[in-house]
Amino acid sequence: MSGEELLEGMNSEELPFGSELPFGVGEEPSFRKLGGSLSSLFNPGESIVKNARFILADLPVKAAEAKKVLPFGLRLTHPPTARLFVVSYEKAAYCDPYNEAALIFYVKTWFGEGGHVSWMVVNDDTALIVGREVLACPKKMADISYSWDEGGVAAGVNRRGIKVIDIQAEVGEEEKEPGFVFGSKAFNVGALGQFFMLNPIWCFRLEELIYESYAAQGSLTLHEAVYDPIKRYIADYSDPVSMRVVRMDVNQLRYILPVGLTGVGWFLRTYDMRFR
C-alpha cells in the first residue's frame, strides 16, 4: 500500500492538531498563548505531532559495546535489543515538517523498563534545538531521506560523506494489534539542568495514537562511521530484516521527571555519538 493510499484510509476519529509551541510563527508572544500551548502539550485530545510515518526495526545488540554508552543505573534488557527507526513528520507543533532517525536501546532501570536514545539525527535545526533542550534527545544534523510509494519504503541517513543507514523494504500485511512506537518510558540525558559534562537523566513518557501499522521486510545496511558509530553496537541480524511501517500521532507528554545524574566518564565515552 502506498503512502497516498494510507492517507485516503484515514478515519474520522483522528485527533485535531494542537496549538503551535509556544505560539504561532510571527505572532505576538503572550503568556496567554504560552498557556494555551502548554495546555495542548499535555492534552490527550490533541496531537503534538501529526501523521508521523515510521520505518523501524528491532535489532540484536552487542551487549559489551552497548554497556559502555549507557548511563549509570540503566541496564540492557534480555536479550539485548535496540530499536532503529527513520521517520518523516508531516506536521509538528514546534517546527516545520522534518525527518529524523534514531537508535534506542531497550533498558531496565529502578524506575521501570523503557528506552534510552543513544543517537539521533534530524534535518531541521529547530527540531534539533527543541529535542536537545526539552526532551534530552542527542540530536545532530544530517541528510535524511524517506519515501513511501507503490514500490515500498526507502529511507536513509547520510552524514559527513557516509551513508550511515540504508533501508529498502516491502510493505506487507496490516497489524491488527500493533506494538508501541514511542509509547513507553524514555530515559534520556541532558536537557533542563545540563552542565556540559554533568547532566541529569530524565524519565518522560509520550502517548501515541497509531492509525496504521504494517509488517514489512527488506534490507538494512549500516556503514562504519567514526562520528556516527551505530554499527558498532548492532550484532548480526537476519537478512531480510523484519520491520514495521507505522503512521501515527503523538498526542500527549504525560510527564517528565529527573531520575539520575551522569558524570565526566559517561560524557567522554559518548562524545562522538552525541556531539560530533
Grid coordinates standing for 170? 516491502
218 burial class (0-12, 13-18, 19+ CB within 10 angstroms)? buried
Confidence bin at 13 (pLDDT 50/70/90): confident
pLDDT over 90, % of the chain: 82
Confidence bin at 82 (pLDDT 50/70/90): very high
**41-60, pLDDT tens digit by residue?**
888 999 999 999 999 999 99
pLDDT number for residue 23 = 87
| Residue 268 identity (one-letter amino acid) | L
Mean pLDDT, residues 219-240 taken together: 96
CB atoms within 10 A of CB 12: 4
Residue 224 has pLDDT above 70, yes or no: yes
Q: What is the DSSP letter of 198?
A: B
What distance in Å separates the CA atoms of residue 89 and residue 100, rounded to the nearest whole number?
8
Closest CA to 189 of 253, 269, 124: 269
**149-196, pLDDT tens digit by residue?**
888 999 999 999 999 999 999 999 999 999 999 999 999 999 989 888
Which domains does the chain carry?
A: 3-275 (2.40.400.10)
Residue 40 has pLDDT above 70, yes or no: yes
pLDDT number for residue 12 = 44
**191-222, pLDDT tens digit by residue?**
989 888 999 999 999 999 999 999 999 999 99
